[in-house]
A and B are shown apart, each in its own frame.
Chain A
Amino acid sequence: MNPLLAQVEIHKRTEDTCVSDNGFCPGWIADNFDRYMDPFFQHVLLTVVAVGIGFLISFTLALVAYRRRWLINPVTQVTGVLYTIPSIAAFFLLLPITGRGFVTATVALVAYVLLIIFRNVLTGLDNVPEETKDAGRGMGLTDRQLLWRVEIPLALPEIMAGLRIAATTTVGLATLAFFAGAGGLGEQIFADINFKSNVVVAGGLAVLLAGVLDAIILLTQRAITPWTRAVAAR
Chain B
Amino acid sequence: MNISDSAHPTGPSPRPSAATLEFREATKRYPGQTEPAVERLSLTVPAGEICVLVGPSGCGKTTAMRMVNRMIDITDGDILLDGQSVRERRPAELRRDIGYAIQQVGLFPHLSVADNIATVPRLLDWDRERIRARVDQLLELVSLDPEETRARYPAQLSGGQRQRVGVARALAVDPPLMLMDEPFGAIDPINRERLQNEFLRLQREIRKTVVFVTHDIDEAIKMGDRIAVLQKGGKLAQYAPPAELLMQPANAFVEDFVGSDRALKRLALQRVRDVDLWEAPLVRLGEPAAAVRGKLDNSEVPYALLVNDEGRPLGWLSDRALAGERITDELRSRPNPIIETDDILRDALSHLLAEEAQYAPVVDERGAVTGVLSIEILSHALKEDPEAVPSGADAL
Q: How far is the CB of B113 from chain A (nearest CB, A)?
A: 11
Is A129 within 8 A of B106, CB to CB?
A: yes
Is A154 within 8 A of B102, CB to CB?
A: no
> Residue of A at shortest CB range from B124?
A140
Interface flags for B151-164 (1: CB within 8 Å of A; 0: not) read 01101100000000
Is B110 within 8 A of A153, CB to CB?
A: yes
Is A231 within 8 A of B110, CB to CB?
A: no
Q: Which of A104-145 contact B (CB under 8 A)?
A: 129, 131-142, 145
CB of B108 within 8 A of chain A?
Answer: yes
> Residue of B at shortest CB range from A233?
B156
Interface flags for B85-125 (1: CB within 8 Å of A; 0: not) read 00000011111110010101111111100000001100100
CB of A225 within 8 A of chain B?
Answer: yes
Interface flags for B242-284 (1: CB within 8 Å of A; 0: not) read 0000000000000000000000000000000000000000000
Is B108 within 8 A of A131, CB to CB?
A: no
The interface on chain A, measured as residues whose beta carbon lies within 8 A of the other chain's beta carbons, has a size of 24
**Assuming the A-B contacts A132-B109, A135-B107, are A145 and B95 also in contact, with contact meaning beta carbons closer than 8 angstroms in the complex?**
no
Is A134 within 8 A of B102, CB to CB?
A: yes
CB of B357 within 8 A of chain A?
Answer: no
Is A230 within 8 A of B156, CB to CB?
A: yes
CB of B285 within 8 A of chain A?
Answer: no
Is A234 within 8 A of B119, CB to CB?
A: no
> Residue of A at shortest CB range from B112?
A227
Is A234 within 8 A of B156, CB to CB?
A: yes
**Assuming the A-B contacts A227-B109, A230-B155, are A139 and B119 also in contact, with contact meaning beta carbons closer than 8 angstroms in the complex?**
yes
Query: What A residues does B133 contact at CB under 8 A?
Result: none
Interface flags for A140-181 (1: CB within 8 Å of B; 0: not) read 111001000010011000000000000000000000000000
Is A131 within 8 A of B96, CB to CB?
A: no
Is A140 within 8 A of B109, CB to CB?
A: no
Is B153 within 8 A of A227, CB to CB?
A: yes
**Assuming the A-B contacts A153-B110, A225-B110, A230-B152, are A140 and B102 also in contact, with contact meaning beta carbons closer than 8 angstroms in the complex?**
no
Interface flags for A20-57 (1: CB within 8 Å of B; 0: not) read 00000000000000000000000000000000000000
Q: Measuring CB to CB, which residues of chain B are less than 8 angstroms from any residue of chain A?
A: 69, 71, 91-97, 100, 102, 104-111, 119-120, 123, 152-153, 155-156, 166, 169-170, 179
Q: List 22 A-B contacts (CB under 8 A).
A: A129-B104, A131-B102, A132-B106, A134-B102, A134-B106, A135-B108, A138-B100, A138-B102, A139-B100, A139-B123, A140-B91, A140-B93, A140-B94, A141-B92, A141-B119, A141-B123, A150-B108, A150-B110, A153-B110, A227-B109, A230-B153, A231-B156
